[in-house]
Structure 1
Amino acid sequence: MEDVLHKALKYDILSEEDLENLENRIEVQKREDLLNKHPYSIWQGKNGNWYTKLPVNEQLKLIKRKNKADIENIIVDFWSEKLENPTIKELFNQWIEERELYGELRKSSIKKYSNDYKRFIKGTYFEAVHIRNLDEEKLYLFVKNTIVQHSLTAKGFSGLRIILKGILKYAKRKKYTSISASVFFQDLDIGKNIFRKKHKKKENGRFTDEEIRMIIHYISDNPTIRNLAIMLCIQTGVRVGELASLKPEDINYQTKTIHIQRTEITYNDRNGKNVVTVSEYPKTDESDRYIIILDSCIDTVRRIRLLNPQGTYLFEEKGNRIRSNGLRRTLYRICDKVGIPRRGPHSIRRTYASVLLDNYTDESLVQNQMGHTDIATTRKYYQYCRRDEAEQRQQIKEAINY
């Protein structure tokens, strides 16, 4: 618009006086718009002073001035800054609201981003920083200090990075800042040693062959619908949220496949109440898949259907869907019964992937069965020797003969 006006001046379509009048009219209209949008009353007290209220630090503050023009100036300045120089907090809320409006974010993602915001930004000085006052040095110091203060791992830092990139990209598109999120994080000079190293024994996240045999034996003796859900998890390696969302029509007995097309999600509603429901979309695009099942798995499904012949979902009790947490507790109880350390359903999933990879299953098939974007994810986080220490020692003894 400025270019058009300058051309109008250049070619004598507008005079300097015309331009000045136009700018004045725009300012008057802008002022009127801001005053009309002011959500609080403006009133004159018995003492002759003028009053209104403004939201300051999440509380309504009473504002007093001697005349109406002054009180209106305060209102205009306040909302102008809100509109043209929002805080990090305001930008985060606007970014989330916009993406939610256009269906770009699932409710579970909104919950994750909101939790990360509360963890890293809420209550800090950075939350109240106005975007036009933010430069790359201030941003760099905030990022570095947050990593140190929260003792973040590299993986934990990714949560902070995602919300900061979202805020900055939104702010740049709105022309509030010139900071490029992509360039900033690409150039971010942070050494690997700043991140906390997470030392976690891999075997704690998987079951050994013997432990799986013990679990299967227990389920065979106690074939309840919840126990059979754990059996199906062992036979398919699906995520527990996918398992809890299965419907009878997802199983194709002719092609011997299961269509994984939905998952359980948890999010907070507008009132902050925790909601657990089924999303008609899986975790990622790759998660929507047809997995191959064996005859033993089909037999398990048929046993489940005998226990729940009319249910909308495969796993129900008294007409209610059995949730992920219920299945997780079931596995814990089984672990306790057979005398092995407690592990969750995701450990079964890791074990399933390890079994496939250890037996040289085609990598593209493993990737499809797991619903991963690439096989590197499977190899990095899922493959591990499942044999116990005695079996591993025997293998080394047989291999090293000198």
Structure 2
Amino acid sequence: MNKQIKVSAISHLWLSDKKQYVKRSTISAYMLLVENHLLPAFGNNYQISEDEVQAFVFRKLDEGLAKKSIMDILIVLKMILKYGAKQKLLHYEAFEIRYPTEQKGKHLEVLSRANQKKIMNYIQEHFTFRNLGVYLCLCTGMRIGEVCALTWEDINTDTGLISINKTIQRIYTTENGIGKTELIMDTPKTKNSVREIPMSRDLLRMLKSVKKIVNSSFYVLTNEAKPTEPRTYRNYYKFFMDKLEIPYLKFHALRHSFATRCIESNCDYKTVSVLLGHSNISTTLNLYVHPNTEQKKKAINQMLRSLN
């Protein structure tokens, strides 16, 4: 084995190596997890034991961090340790971490049908480009970065399709050891996120006349050559919800509401998954498909009738 070095140094070597293979936004996410969580806990270590990682998990749970977030941190930690072992900089043995049994399921934020109708009716009567973004998300399930990156040329009113092919996000970077943020245009979250979404009749009717008079290269939310960034648009969305006196839900609730309404309308799950740009259908099923008692009874009765 080569001379052992601290985990902090191995982390920086690993990040430099990873930059060759992954998107800038991915590196940014890795850097934040390393600097905010892993280095404060393990940066001065030369080795990391399973007991130390288990204690780290319990500590983060006590601090209120979600189990999913902690698991993401551990994925990065394992990649760093495997890299260090491959370079003969430390000894690594796979560790098995236990999590407390979860008592409650995760609550999904979804607009009520009444509030969703209220929003959509208001936007139809009070059209602005920024309001249009909210309407688009309720009708298509777009993510906030996707709607911020949408240009008029992505909207085809002849075919009735919206093309999702890019996203805007602010990422964390370092330059000469100094951290900063940078707004970048990138490809969507996964390859499945590059997709085409049909427009509803009302949405198509709303956009047909507008599309004739706008510059096709302009961004939809600003109707200018310069886009708005997700953080700014979230602030506008909060103002919009306050104005309509609707209880505040996170912007992502618009996407959840779209998916939930699709499922409630008995759309097939695979189609909903494709519309959302999920990498696999299990993501859609785990998030949105939760049969109630009546649906369970109906399924059992249908099964028994088939035996007759």
The whole-number CA distance in structure 1 between the counterparts of 2:53 and 2:130 is 45
Query: Which residue of 172, 175, 190 maps to 2:85?
Result: 172
1:265 is aligned to 169
2:98 is aligned to 190
In the alignment, structure 1 residue 288 sits paired with structure 2 residue 160? no
**Could you tell me whether the CA contact under 8 Å between 2:153 and 2:216 is conserved in 1?**
no
1:154 is aligned to 67
Aligned CA distance change for structure 1 residues 233 and 303 (closer, same or farther; 3 Å): farther
Deviation per CA, 1:232-286, whole angstroms, max 9, x where unpaired?
A: 111111111011111222223333222211111211232422112211x111111
The whole-number CA distance in structure 2 between the counterparts of 1:294 and 1:360 is 17
The whole-number CA distance in structure 1 between the counterparts of 2:104 and 2:23 is 29
1:321 is aligned to 227
- 3-state SS in 2 of match to 1:315: coil
Gaps of 5+ in 2: 299-308
1:275 is aligned to 182
The whole-number CA distance in structure 2 between the counterparts of 1:310 and 1:360 is 36
**Could you tell me whether the CA contact under 8 Å between 2:152 and 2:216 is conserved in 1?**
no
The whole-number CA distance in structure 2 between the counterparts of 1:157 and 1:319 is 39
Q: Which range is displaced more, 86-95 or 375-384?
A: 375-384
The whole-number CA distance in structure 1 between the counterparts of 2:83 and 2:77 is 10
The whole-number CA distance in structure 1 between the counterparts of 2:58 and 2:209 is 53
Aligned CA distance change for structure 1 residues 253 and 218 (closer, same or farther; 3 Å): closer
Normalized against structure 1, the TM-score is what?
0.65
In our comparison, the structure showing a higher alpha carbon Rg is 1
Deviation per CA, 1:162-211, whole angstroms, max 9, x where unpaired?
A: 2111112211221334525xxx14xx052434xx7676543xx1101100
The whole-number CA distance in structure 2 between the counterparts of 1:317 and 1:143 is 49
The whole-number CA distance in structure 1 between the counterparts of 2:98 and 2:216 is 57
Gaps of 5+ in 1: 1-80, 386-391
Report the aligned-residue RMSD.
2.8
Matches within 5 A, 1:94-173: 94-100=13-19, 102=20, 104-124=21-41, 126-130=42-46, 134=47, 138-151=48-61, 152-173=65-86
The whole-number CA distance in structure 2 between the counterparts of 1:277 and 1:345 is 20
The whole-number CA distance in structure 2 between the counterparts of 1:289 and 1:317 is 23
**Could you tell me whether the CA contact under 8 Å between 1:248 and 1:313 is conserved in 2?**
yes
- Tell which has more relative contact order, 1 or 2 (C-alpha 8 A, sep 6+): 2
Number of residue pairs matched?
A: 289
- 3-state SS in 2 of match to 1:321: coil
**Could you tell me whether the CA contact under 8 Å between 1:353 and 1:383 is conserved in 2?**
no
1:251 is aligned to 155
In the alignment, structure 1 residue 351 sits paired with structure 2 residue 267? no
